[in-house]
Structure 1
């Protein structure tokens, strides 16, 4: 019993500060310390500089053999595609509104691994777990980006074909950059432009940071101390800014009207997605403890805020996505962190 309470206290010690900082971000926006117009800027600053620096420095400071595990790769792909296939088949042929259907499917597999998963792993299990998480993120980030664009584009074309929408596009406040981004992944005929989509994906700052970090780690390159200090300073802002930006992005609208499907999405992310990874990792590929924990925690993370940002390029249901972000953030991860702590204590 003492061990159980000790584990509960340990888990709360990791997750409670994370959610408190998220709540601080929410009240900062509510009190208009930062305006709503500044929230996207905060998200971009966190993603482009803080998160990219954190990912790079975490990978580059560890030996390549410590963070790269072929078994980890074997678990990620079957878990990821099995889950997406099930979710897609479950919702694609339903009679839910097309724009909501696309939001449900994408919200079900887009995980906030970087802004939520990495801080939890860093504080719960240390830098090595965080570095291993970076490799998982490196693999899944381009896939998430690609599949999100494809799903939204497919449903956008489907909606246009059904006559339920005119342009299939929606921008926040008439933001021309959203239209520009949309042009980067589709051509005038409504077909996916694979070349431009690939270019946009490869130029993502986190993808670049991961690739650079892997090169430094693999070739055991010794970075000059001033360079390390610069990335250390920038990486220190990643976690607090990421959590604050998530809180500042929260909007408690339309949760009640979408309660049924938000509950399904949250349950899928909390139980089904990490459970698939757990079964593949523990019983099929026999992952070591830290690799198994890192993978399951990352797969149990809530809907990524970037999903909302990317959805603005299409006529997706933004209200559903924002509600799913809030609900899944509140419900996910704590249970799996507790379960894995009990099952595989480190």
Structure 2
């Protein structure tokens, strides 16, 4: 019990404080959330991803292994949550939103700060996290839109739009510079380090502002079920798969902890544009984020104790 409280106080509570600050400031000053998102996507996240990969000692065969694991994890999650949605008798649109909220978890705005605090800025642990962030972004803006959009042209533009984002090039260049051991001038390294160090506070603030902008009028039972599915079944499936795959140590810990993240705000944003019932996705994001304060603490404790 003492370990659980320690994790909550030293990992989750600092995150809650910064997210709450963003939430309150957004309610008071009505900041332009689009500009805030651009600040993260075009400024701190590319530098963060690049430097995390550039300085890591990750093995490239492990890189491929993690991607294969995440792909299989997404497939198993899809089957389980689609079955639950059908069992609840949801219509087609809600089944898709129910499933997507479980497939798309907050590996970035929430998962990255958790990883940084749990592993104390360990470059290797963060490189594993970065792989998960990139996978989630690509997955959300490909399948997430494909599953909801009725117009093929809209799908194609959204997917191509991802490859125009600096995050993608931060990943590609980080891997390239790491693999070929390409050096950089000290002023460039210092500048990128300053940008990376700003990331945690900025993305958590933005997460709070994004949550403040989510509007819904009710909470449906199936949305509560989807939240529990994301927070409980998600890490349970990841745990079983990690044991079967033989992945151990820091890699397994980082994957398991991130699998317990709440539904991504991206799932609500995509639903606002492509779904007839965006409020349903918002309900799941809000509820899973609130409940995650307890469940994520437990999963961190379990991950650090078992692997």
Q: TM-score, normalised by structure 1?
A: 0.79
Match of 2:264 in 1: 304
Counterpart of 1:65 (choices 36, 59, 68) is: 59
Unaligned segments of structure 1, at least 5 residues: 158-184
The structural deviation recorded for 1:95 is 5.1
Contact 2:53-2:127 at 8 Å conserved across structures: yes
Match of 2:234 in 1: 273
Counterpart of 1:145 (choices 141, 146, 152) is: 141
Counterpart of 1:234 (choices 195, 202, 225) is: 195
Counterpart of 2:100 (choices 97, 106, 109) is: 106
Contact 2:54-2:178 at 8 Å conserved across structures: yes
Structure 1 residues 298-307 or 73-82, which shifts more? 73-82
SS of 1:31 mapped into structure 2: helix
Contact 1:111-1:304 at 8 Å conserved across structures: yes
Distance (whole Å) between structure 1 residues aligned to residue 165 and residue 78 of structure 2 = 23
SS of 2:263 mapped into structure 1: coil
Q: Does 1:79 align with 2:73?
A: yes
Contact 2:33-2:209 at 8 Å conserved across structures: yes
Distance (whole Å) between structure 2 residues aligned to residue 245 and residue 322 of structure 1 = 16
The structural deviation recorded for 1:258 is 2.7
Unaligned segments of structure 2, at least 5 residues: none
Contact 2:73-2:238 at 8 Å conserved across structures: yes
> Looking at CA atoms only, which structure, 1 or 2, has the larger radius of gyration?
1
The structural deviation recorded for 1:272 is 1.1
Counterpart of 1:10 (choices 7, 11, 33) is: 7
Distance (whole Å) between structure 2 residues aligned to residue 316 and residue 225 of structure 1 = 51
The structural deviation recorded for 1:277 is 1.4
Structure 1 residues 202-211 or 18-27, which shifts more? 202-211
Contact 1:67-1:132 at 8 Å conserved across structures: no
- State how 1:1-346 maps to structure 2 within 5 Å: 4-32=1-29, 35-36=30-31, 38-65=32-59, 68-91=62-85, 96-125=90-119, 126-127=121-122, 128-153=124-149, 157=150, 186-187=152-153, 194=156, 196-251=157-212, 253-254=215-216, 257-282=218-243, 284-332=244-292, 333-344=296-307
1:50-80 deviation per Cα after TM superposition (whole angstroms, max 9, x unaligned): 1221111111111242894454344322211
Distance (whole Å) between structure 1 residues aligned to residue 249 and residue 143 of structure 2 = 29
Equivalenced residues, count: 301
Contact 1:254-1:319 at 8 Å conserved across structures: yes
The structural deviation recorded for 1:89 is 4.0
Contact 1:7-1:342 at 8 Å conserved across structures: no
Match of 1:178 in 2: none
Distance (whole Å) between structure 2 residues aligned to residue 67 and residue 24 of structure 1 = 41
Distance (whole Å) between structure 2 residues aligned to residue 7 and residue 325 of structure 1 = 24
Per the alignment, do residues 62 and 112 of structure 1 end up closer, same or farther by CA in structure 2, a change over 3 Å counting? same
